[in-house]
A and B are shown apart, each in its own frame.
Chain A
């Protein structure tokens, strides 16, 4: 088996690393204190072409294949310390751009994708509700047909990018009796009358990625706002999750690799009892585990990318990848703090950010428990 990448892929990955190390370096700690979104970083990413990474050239994209996308996200995770920026970027691409690309009409693609690729408008998706989290299809937001329009009523929560979004892919039920088969996706422009967004929610991690609540009150959208077909919401959501569970979590793999580098350097330099602490098994074993997690996380992510590049379904593999990468990131983040001891506990040294971010990784894109449910369903028990 050949696990190597093409020279072009490696070159592009390295160029993204250099870009992030030089252009995405403004102090993140000050933005974390206020939850400020890194707009300068967003615009620099757009100039580099990142918002349009997987999109066809006709829409201003870079037409990157999925393996390249995964490598780019790993590079960003490695080199950019503003994890909130990366999370918002990933939400924009995988939860809004890709659904439009895969399910949108020609008019929808032409209307949204060039502006999204240029970073001129920000996208996201609104699925989760106060009473519909893991039980996603028990959502209560309704879309009632009214002539040439649909009228949406309901509320969404934990909506990534909501406070800065220009368009959201909103999931609503158009036929409650059909359950999951009666859910439809709507492209809702945020300046539509009847749309209200809360101020950003304060979070444990990903502090610079704005998250909010969205209320829809008699929000009238034209029928042309339907993404795909009526009742196709679950297909859109499932397809989007395969992308999200691989590409978004590639950033975590990059972050884990960065963590490992920092910890190895610390273990070499920090001396206790006259020896570098890396010479003690209590530390070297942790580093070995961190290395193992990075390696295995990369392998499963790259397998998902390969399957999708071959046009194959990757539902179970994406679930395994998401579960393994997110749990590994949390374990390695705990190890990183422990290796650094008291310094790891001090926010000034920025070791704690990974831990705060990693906890969220076990929850969004489907909790670890849901991923286990998905895997078990495919085991034919």
Chain B
């Protein structure tokens, strides 16, 4: 399963109460992610993809959508 699918499925299941999401949908404006959910999501991302998200990347723009989160992970890995 590719990165964006894994992230989308995790958010749908563990944060969005099963609600289906698209990769481009705004997670912030849509109220899917609150400040605690972001921390929970980052913990998942770090464990699942074996990356470390620096505090400087805790920028809401990096968590705007599944696509943005995927891009963040790929940037960290690169």
Q: Which residue of A lies closest to B61 (CB)?
A: A231
Known: A181-B28, A313-B42. A374 touches B36 (CB 8 A): yes
Max chain B C-beta neighbours (<10 A), residue from A103, A177, A179, A239: A179
- In chain A, positions 215-267 with a C-beta closer than 8 Å to chain B are 228-229, 231-232, 234-235, 237-239
Taken residue by residue from 19 to 60, chain B's Cβ proximity to chain A (1 for < 8 Å, 0 otherwise) reads as 000000000110000111111101100100000100110111
Q: For residue B52, which residues in chain A have a CB less than 8 angstroms away from its CB?
A: 311
Q: For residue B55, which residues in chain A have a CB less than 8 angstroms away from its CB?
A: 102-103, 235, 239
- Closest-CB distance, B41 to chain A (whole angstroms): 11
- Closest-CB distance, A373 to chain B (whole angstroms): 8
Q: For chain A, which range describes its interface: under 10, 10 to 19, 20 to 34, or 35 or more residues?
A: 20 to 34
Max chain A C-beta neighbours (<10 A), residue from B43, B58, B60: B60
Q: For residue B59, which residues in chain A have a CB less than 8 angstroms away from its CB?
A: 229, 231-232, 235
Contact between A180 and B34 (Cβ–Cβ < 8 Å)?
A: yes
Contact between B43 and A235 (Cβ–Cβ < 8 Å)?
A: no
Query: Is B74 close to A, CB under 8 A?
Result: no
Known: A234-B35, A235-B58. A377 touches B28 (CB 8 A): no
What CA separation (Å) do A234 and B59 show in the bound complex? 9
Q: For chain B, which range describes its interface: under 10, 10 to 19, 20 to 34, or 35 or more residues?
A: 20 to 34
**Count of A-B contacts judged by CB separation below 8 Å:** 51
A contact face: mostly helix, strand, loop, or mixed? helix
Q: For residue B43, which residues in chain A have a CB less than 8 angstroms away from its CB?
A: 313, 315
Known: A178-B28, A315-B43. A231 touches B60 (CB 8 A): yes
- Closest-CB distance, B49 to chain A (whole angstroms): 14
- Closest-CB distance, A317 to chain B (whole angstroms): 11
Q: Which residue of B lies closest to A374 (CB)?
A: B36
Q: For residue B34, which residues in chain A have a CB less than 8 angstroms away from its CB?
A: 179-180
Query: Is A137 close to B, CB under 8 A?
Result: yes
Query: Is A191 close to B, CB under 8 A?
Result: no
Q: Which residue of A lies closest to B28 (CB)?
A: A181
Q: For residue B37, which residues in chain A have a CB less than 8 angstroms away from its CB?
A: 377
Known: A180-B34, A181-B28, A380-B14. A232 touches B39 (CB 8 A): no
Contact between B35 and A103 (Cβ–Cβ < 8 Å)?
A: no
Known: A229-B59, A313-B46. A180 touches B40 (CB 8 A): no
Give the interface of B toward A (CB within 8 A): 14, 28-29, 34-40, 42-43, 46, 52, 55-56, 58-61
Pick 19 A–B contacts, CB within 8 A, sort by A.
A179-B34, A180-B35, A181-B28, A181-B60, A228-B56, A231-B60, A232-B59, A232-B60, A234-B35, A234-B38, A234-B60, A235-B59, A239-B55, A239-B58, A311-B52, A313-B39, A313-B42, A315-B43, A378-B40
In the complex, the 5 A-B pairs of residues with the closest C-beta atoms, listed nearest first? A235-B58, A181-B60, A180-B35, A234-B35, A315-B39
